Copies of this chain bind each other. A is one copy, B any other.
Amino acid sequence: MHILTMDDLTNEDMLQLLHQAGIYQQSIEKIPDSYYAANLFFENSTRTKSSFEMAQKKLGLNVLSFDAQTASIQKGESLYDTVKTLEAIGVDVAVIRHGEDRYFDQLEGRVKLSIINGGDGMGHHPSQCLLDLMTIHQEFTAFKGLTITIVGDIRHSRVARSNAMALKRLGAKVQFSGPEAWMDGELLEMGNYINFDKAVEVSDVLMMLRVQHERHAFGQSFEKAEYHALYGLTAEREKRMPIKSILMHPAPVNRGVEIADELVECERSRIFKQMTNGVFVRMAMLKFVLQKREAQKHEFVN
């Protein structure tokens, strides 16, 4: 059992995960048996890595430290051989982040440990998606009837892709906004493009994406101030948002670019709430995967 993309989960699975995450929010129940987890982050992401590690420790899993920067993979070892090694030494579940799109295609069906995708290239990021779903569900208790606008660099965003698909499957209306050059033809089949100044007035959820300095040479197409003026949440725009609507962002926020500095922790911001939920959702994912795994083992035995 792996969780690689949101397609690995039925709508029922998703709701079950949100339910379990909600239980973990109330109180932590440790997993009885001794399981071993390893986190393989070939791209930097302290936030996601720390969150998974916290989830693992709260569950009572043993966590093997693994520094992908100094790993044998630097000696030319393939990802398959690295993962197979972890399997051989007794790792039950590996969380992997890797810069290559669908890195997991070379692993699926060939390894016995479970894989949770911590982000692949410009592809998928299911744990971020689930924590966003949890945050929205906590707020509105349903997805049907909600209008959610995803704003920013749609084309290069794992978050945009996973979220748009999952939200649509669960019945929400998804829209996109931001620089038109950053839109994505395939994703636009799932929702319309909407002018940002209109979006702030009609959305239940504004989901702002990080402008990735790493991918875009700022100054070429946009200056920071210009981006903020055109597509950032300014104090003026925040005032025009509907009364119960909320503001989300996967973080880290470029303060003063996507969102005005003073609005990052405003009343309708759920940005730090998202991080807190991230731990509970990841606990639910780990439990889900390990339970399926245990069930499969018993099947093999009988």
Contacts and interface: CB of A to CB of B under 8 A. Distances in A.
Interface stretch (A185-193, A246-254, A285-293): A246-254
Contacts of A294: none
Interface stretch (A146-154, A196-204, A274-282): A274-282
A86 interface: yes
A46 B64 contact: no
Contacts of A221: none
Interface in A22-46: 28, 34, 36, 38, 44-46
A78 B251 CA distance: 12
Contact of A70 (B66, B69, B87): B69
Interface in A209-259: 213-214, 251-255
Interface residues of A, number: 52
Interface stretch (A2-10, A54-62, A120-128, A136-144): A54-62
The complex is assembled from copies of this chain, and their number is 3
Interface string A98-141: 00000000000000000000000000000000000000000000
A50 interface: yes
B57 A278 contact: no
A278 B86 CA distance: 12
A278 B90 CA distance: 11
Contacts of A53: 64-65
Given A54-B64, A57-B36, A72-B252, A276 B89 contact: yes
Most chain-B CB neighbours within 10 Å: which of A76, A77, A254?
Answer: A77
A272 B88 contact: yes
The 3 A-B residue pairs whose C-beta atoms are closest, nearest first, are A88-B275, A46-B71, A77-B252
